[in-house]
Amino acid sequence: MKVTKPSPKILIVDDEAPIRTSLREILEYENFLVSEAEDGAEGVKLASKFAFDVIFCDIKMPKMDGLEVLETLVDKGVQSRIIMISGHGTVETAVQAIKQGAFDFIQKPLDLNRILLTVRHALDQGFLEKETERLSRQVHSERSTAIVGESDEIRDIVQMICTVAPSDARVLITGANGTGKELVARQLHELSARHDQPFIEVNCAAIPSELIESELFGHEKGAFTSAVKQRKGKFEQAEGGTLFLDEVGDMSASAQAKVLRALQESRISRVGGEKEIEVNVRIVAATNKNLRDEIVGGNFREDLFHRLAVIPVHVPSLNDRRGDIPLLVEHFLKIICDQHGKVQMDVTSQAMESLKSANWTGNIRELRNVVERLVILTPKGEAIDDAVVSRFGGLTVEKD
């Protein structure tokens, strides 16, 4: 099915009927939707009531001149691109109009090519600003450090974060995959004195053991076959900020030794280099493993564990905080509906009960994926009901 893009809407505000007519003919020939106002007061009324992409506004008009119209619309927060037109324009008038917020200034008699070119530029700028705003909202929502929940476990975590964040104490975050350990780490950073410095994340499980040292500490040119130039590691990139070592339990033994030394001395050496480099970073680590068991099995250094676990924080699984599921669902619904350009959707009480009783082995990450699937597959204008959850949720019920 082909989606038809709506035609841009343009308002012409001018007391001269011939000007309005000629402008309308030019613009409608280009498939724009055109409205007219014969004076400034009517123009303000229409522009305040309806959303126009572009407004052409004459300077000299009865009741309310164009500069007054411009000032009023800017004060009202109207987002339209306003193009001023005048047969008595001067450089000073044009400069004043631009300073007050006009997109451009065109002198009469109106030139066809100039009009269309200016309209295209105005529409392009409007599209770019809207797209930038949309992407900004999306990035913010995806990276939001807000921790959603009212369960006792979440209240305890939030209280711990607020207490610990202002210090430089190292924090070890434990919990199953998908519980939100990175969210806790980001919140610790955002509430710290280092919040305006880098937050650098390293997934220790995703980097091959032979490359983890280069990733963390950097390397000098020629340190190994593919080291064609010097490279700074994550410790240096996080200078002044926070270094988040995710899945630290999967770090190789040699990398553990180097990290321990870096924590003890606040110094690192790049792979293949002899120079020691001072570093000032706060370490926050996370793991889905029981590091005490890993220590017993000889897979993790006990001295490094004690260096990392100054403040331990455990993030519970979603199955252990089912009371937070309705809040999380509403949170994800708002984010996902915005991203997909859908009107905010409701969830029936029966559907919510099904979500609460499901076995969330993938924790919050799984819940978000399920909510997104339900938003996409629920017919437009309908609520997410139990039938949709049963058909598309792919859930298993938690057994007592």
CATH number of the domain bearing residue 81: 3.40.50.2300
Give the residues across from 104 on adjacent strands: 83
Report the alpha-carbon angle 158-159-160, nearest 5: 90
Sheet architecture: strand order including 311-314: 199-203, 242-246, 282-287, 171-174, 311-314
The tokens 């978000």 sit on which residue? 368
**Co-location of 225 and 308 in the same domain:** yes
Q: Could you tell me if residue 334 is inside a domain?
A: yes
Residue 398's pLDDT is what?
58
Residue that finishes a domain, picked among 295, 313, 331: 313
Q: Largest alpha-carbon pair distance within the chain?
A: 89
Share of the chain above pLDDT 90, in %: 67
Q: What's the domain count of the chain? A: 3
**Co-location of 197 and 288 in the same domain:** yes
**Co-location of 166 and 291 in the same domain:** yes
The three-class DSSP label of residue 318 is helix
Residue 281 has pLDDT above 70, yes or no: yes
**Co-location of 266 and 304 in the same domain:** yes
Using one digit for the tens of pLDDT, what is the confidence trace for 359-375?
999 999 999 999 999 99
Of 62-66, 143-147, 345-349, 393-397, the least confident: 143-147
CB–CB of 384/375 below 8 Å? yes
Identify the band that residue 339 occupies on the pLDDT scale cut at 50, 70 and 90.
confident
Instruction: Please give the single-letter amino acid code of residue 167.
Output: S
Residue that finishes a domain, picked among 313, 347, 376: 313
Residue 5 has pLDDT above 70, yes or no: no
Cβ contacts of 356 within 8 Å, gap of 6 or more: 322, 325, 326
**Co-location of 170 and 279 in the same domain:** yes
CB–CB of 180/324 below 8 Å? no
CB–CB of 244/182 below 8 Å? yes
Residue that finishes a domain, picked among 140, 171, 195: 140
CA 83 – CA 97 distance, rounded (Å): 9
Structure tokens at 378: 């629920």
Residue 117 has pLDDT above 60, yes or no: yes
Phi, psi of 171 (to 5 degrees): -125, 135
* Prior bond of 316 cis (ω within 30°): no
| 8-state DSSP, 110 | P
**Co-location of 111 and 168 in the same domain:** no
CATH of the domain at 382: 1.10.8.60
Of 1-15, 118-132, 178-192, 214-228, the least confident: 1-15
- The boundaries of the domain holding residue 368 are 319-392
Q: Could you tell me if residue 175 is inside a domain?
A: yes
CA 186 – CA 195 distance, rounded (Å): 9
Decide: residue 99, CB within 10 A, 0-12 exposed, 13-18 middle, 19+ buried: exposed
The tokens 């676990």 sit on which residue? 309
Using one digit for the tens of pLDDT, what is the confidence trace for 164-217?
999 999 999 999 999 999 999 999 999 999 999 999 999 998 888 778 888 999
Q: Could you tell me if residue 147 is inside a domain?
A: no
